[in-house]
Structure 1
């Protein structure tokens, strides 16, 4: 009789791991503490709930590393990627997702699978027996985090993460804002007009920066010394690095033409991306913040098109934890001191929804193969998934280990033929090589 795989955590990684293992023929028990035990960021008890952005980032699988990861997950029969595409929203070249229907669809598929059962309630200690995958994410409960620390003999690393506000679309002043994707990117008119753009003049931008820097912010508790993940820096932290930082970051005006004043180039632009299929909610792109709620609304309403804005959700900041995977995990993502336990998802030190789900996909396949007595190695580092797993299980420097998005810097270099390659050609070469190698890896499992 096939042994059961227990998966702790029903986020992106845990959901994908459960699907992959069950599809391989292994019985799965998926443990989830929500909704009985909530977290700072989650609102529901659904699996794969999106709590920060609703974007899976670039969908370009020829010249972008995260787009390549999308392709690999699709090729491997990934549930998360299938449901993301089924519930996608217009977002130019990005893959944005209608978050609630997406999570509900993932939940329905998992609960209806004949080999998956769900156990609700909190698990507070690392299990001593059986096959387990720990995929509790960056908001791992305090009791379980303490159990992990006790087992590893080391403090869990930590960083602070922030979420962006969500605005009711009807409250945006469209006599000042206009619809356009940057550089009109997208194949359809809907994709080319996927973003609301809110312009600022130089004086308006300067006043906004002054207010942002002076705003009351959430302070860390004594003893909290973790840093930020660079991919989710609060806007006020960026502004502290220089008054022009935001104008060259989330407020950059390039690739946009003001439909109301085509001959006037905006000094800065705030973009809002659709957050649901109805188009009633939009999130402020790149505007993660640690401003307190009162200050937050006052500062954001200084953006002219948002002067009368109503907010469905304000931004906030929370503490995320992750383990020092290069020292604690083996090449199969197993805890070296307890090889019956694997870790997957953001708790391993990958960053982003897609990366987390991809590590869940690998953990589910590796665990299923072990339970069934099959030999399965992780894919080569020439693939996106392989580059990530090799990074977290030994490729990264343990002393300076920090959360990492997938990027071509994690891939083995490609030698240029006949001279130096341009960047676009080089990235295309990376993705061509990865697709061939990943397809061969999948074929060996069939």
Structure 2
């Protein structure tokens, strides 16, 4: 790829530091500087977009697939029945704990295996973003009076018994297929996270779309700053692409870069950018970046929007009847049904992507 670019007659490559945004008179520009954007360029982006528009650390809480939450144990309710990010008084899923379960959970958190910060990252603990295990170390009751406080909640399955503690899950995307563990940013290693968080009642069989973390990164608050074609609102022709938009992973970053290039080329030709269907991986990730995420009042602004890899939770649900029991299979549920749903989602994505590319 590098050789092809360097030898192309219409491409000029300059290897030098970019110290600011391009001039207003430039036609089409894409900023794709990645997670370690130079401070001077980051300052220029922040000056243009606002103080809360740029994050320099991921404070990531785990995100779960909604279908894996046991609603025979959990229930829907916002604290004090206040209207939440989804627009109702029942925008959160609540996982109750009794005293014994809470203490066992605290013990597991404190004993859990964690990862350290890289030397160049520093220790980015700041207000509202302490790792859950660090809060547990500060006192056994800290979490019960913080993100796991039970006040303002009534267990719909057992209204007369007050939970000792409650883990709240907040709807993370407009589709309702993903839920975020509120206040559960963590430095626990991935294996420890899966093991410990499945101790929470109702999450015994939880499937994680993404596990938590806290590390150095640079990304913009894309859902509020970018339009559907990845252009900065109020600055036509200036687009962002790659990891700085809030996508995770090499393939995901490259795919958003590809889309930004297609959109810029279309505008240069005087055409309207042709967006990929949301049923495709391109479209699902683009939708998450540019508006599919729900901004929450309890974690406002840049902390609410968190980077994401592509996962099945970002795709729209299948149409009713799209998945049927295979002939000869007596029991069609659990892993078999989940696999069939993923296969049907992938097949739909391939078909829709082919039509999009042909169009």
* Number of aligned residues: 224
Query: Are the counterparts in 1 of residues 237 and 264 from structure 2 also a CA contact under 8 Å?
Result: no
Q: Judging changes above 3 Å, is the alpha-carbon distance between structure 1 residues 376 and 160 closer, same or farther for their aligned structure 2 residues?
A: closer
C-alpha distance 217-321 of structure 1, shift in aligned 2 (>3 A): closer
For 2:239, what is the secondary structure of its paired residue?
strand
1:341 to 211, 235, 238: 238
1:411 aligns with 2:315: yes
Match of 1:437 in 2: 352
1:424 aligns with 2:339: yes
Conserved 8 A contact 2:256-2:286:
yes
Q: Is the 8 A contact 2:242 2:256 kept in 1?
A: yes
Aligned-partner SS, 2:288: helix
Aligned ranges for residues 103-252 of structure 1 at < 5 Å?
A: 106-127=1-22, 128-130=24-26, 131-155=28-52, 156-160=54-58, 220=123, 239=192, 245=196
Please give the secondary structure, in 1, of the residue aligned with 2:12: strand
What's the counterpart of residue 172 of structure 1?
none
Q: Distance in 2 between matches of 1:433 and 1:418?
A: 10
Whether 1:389 aligns to 2:293 is: no
Give the number of the structure whose residues are more often strand, by fraction.
Answer: 1
Q: Are residues 227 and 406 of structure 1, via their aligned partners in 2, closer, same or farther at CA, if it must alter by over 3 Å? A: farther
CA distance 1:224–1:143, change in 2 (3 Å): farther
List runs of 5+ in structure 1 lacking aligned partners. 1-105, 162-208, 249-287, 290-316
Structure 2: gaps of 5 or more residues: 60-109, 132-179, 200-211, 326-336
Structure 1 residue 339 displacement after superposition:
1.5
CA distance in 2, matches of 1:418, 1:371: 40
Q: For 1:362-398, what per-residue CA distance to the aligned partner results, in whole angstroms no more than 9, with x for missing partners?
A: 0011101111122332101011000111111111123
d(CA) in 1 for partners of 2:255, 2:117: 38
The answer to whether the 8 Å contact 1:350/1:404 transfers is yes
Contact 2:223-2:293 within 8 A present in 1 as well: yes
The one of 264, 270, 278 aligned to 1:373: 270
Deviation at 1:226, TM superposition (A): 5.8
CA contact (8 A) 2:37 2:218 kept: yes
TM-superposed CA distance for 1:411, in Å, is: 1.1
2: distance between equivalents of 1:214 and 1:395?
A: 31
Once the two structures are superposed, residues 81-124 of structure 1 have per-residue CA deviations (whole angstroms, 9 ceiling, x without a partner) of xxxxxxxxxxxxxxxxxxxxxxxxx3222212222210121111
Decide whether the 8 Å contact of 2:230 with 2:240 is kept in 1: yes
Equivalent pair of 1:139/1:321 in contact (CA under 8 Å)? yes
**Distance change >3 Å, CA 235–CA 434, structure 1 → 2:** same
TM-score, normalising length: structure 1? 0.44
Give the root-mean-square deviation of aligned CA atoms: 3.8
SS in 2 for 1:116: coil
Change (3 A) 1:211 1:437: closer
TM-score, reference length from structure 2: 0.54
Name the SS of the counterpart of 1:119 in structure 2: coil
